[in-house]
Amino acid sequence: MGRIGEVSERMRRVSRAFPLLFDARTPVLFVLGAVLVDVFASAGYDLLLELLGDDWLASVWAMVIALGLLTLVVLGLYFIAASRHSTGAILGQEEQATQREGLVVFLSTGTGKADEEALKFHAGDGLKYAWLIATPEVEAEDKVTRLAAEYRDKGVVVDPRPLTNPRDANEAYLVVSNILDDAERRGLGPGQLYVDITGSLRPASVGATLACSDQHYDLEYVVCRYEHGRCVPGTSEVMEVRLSGARSRREPGTTRAGAAA
């Protein structure tokens, strides 16, 4: 297995380096690639002349065939390079969110913010589980305790989770991934839960997005009009962002265990 792994790694390195021979942004390798194409084209043309003969008709046919083969090679290299630089879109369509049973929300400091609007939106129709991600700054306030008590009184299972460093994308990824694992154990699959990133800093948003992409859950964010640092009641709108692209999606409501079965 070790030997096979070494060979596979070498092949991957070659496949990553090969398109650089035809990338004008790397001048030395680009010139080398052009020279290699010219050498192979000349060799192919001479070989065709040997096979077809040296009269004028054979020369024409040899040139046509050589140009055709060269065109195929160039097109093949173009598609290889294009596929190498194409990452596939992660962010899919945006539309108004629907109320769901589960919500993961990044809390921000202060009251009357978009995070509270997200909780209110989903609590209107059967919110059952809420995970409140709080930084040390948020925990220093009474916001986590207040919101947890408020929504537990409404029959929601509230689970606060700490986020030590909101500027650490890796920590945010791990926190959200663990929450999504917990959600699956509770029977909440894709289509039954949102991760709201409105109150998170950009690094934490990146980590949350990658976690949702890996486990096929959707994101949401809240837009509203602010006055004096507070969201004006009645102006908020919760938007859904579906994650698509290279990763396949499971059917809504299907956990990984159910999909495997």
Q: How far apart are CA 102 and CA 189, in angstroms?
A: 9
Position 260 scores a pLDDT of: 45
Domains observed in the chain: 2-85 (no CATH), 91-256 (3.40.50.10770)
- Alpha carbon dihedral 143, 116, 233, 95, in 10-degree steps, equals 160
CA 258 to chain centre: 23
Burial class (CB in 10 A: 0-12, 13-18, 19+), 248: exposed
Position 72 scores a pLDDT of: 74
pTM of the model: 0.63
Position 2 scores a pLDDT of: 47
Position 89 scores a pLDDT of: 42
Position 246 scores a pLDDT of: 35
Q: How far apart are CA 26 and CA 9, in angstroms?
A: 23
Q: Work out the angle at residue 80's Cα, subtended by the Cα atoms of residues 28 and 45, and round it to the nearest 5 degrees.
A: 70
Q: What is the pLDDT along the chain (261 residues), one digit of tens a residue?
A: 444 445 445 545 544 555 555 554 555 555 556 666 666 666 666 666 666 666 667 666 767 776 777 677 667 666 655 554 444 445 556 789 999 999 999 999 999 999 999 999 999 768 999 999 999 999 999 999 999 999 999 999 999 999 999 999 999 999 999 999 999 999 999 999 999 999 999 999 999 999 999 999 999 999 999 998 899 988 999 999 887 643 444 444 555 544 444
Residue in this structure with the two tokens 């879109």, named with its chain if needed: 89
Position 1 scores a pLDDT of: 43
Position 7 scores a pLDDT of: 45
- Alpha carbon dihedral 248, 254, 260, 261, in 10-degree steps, equals -150
The type of residue at 159 is D
Partners of 226 in the beta sheet? Answer: 231
Q: How far apart are CA 119 and CA 251, in angstroms?
A: 25
Position 242 scores a pLDDT of: 83
Position 53 scores a pLDDT of: 66
Position 98 scores a pLDDT of: 93
| DSSP states along 121-164 | HHHTT---EEEEEE-HHHHTTTHHHHHHHHHHTTT-EEEEEE-S
Q: How far apart are CA 90 and CA 79, in angstroms?
A: 21
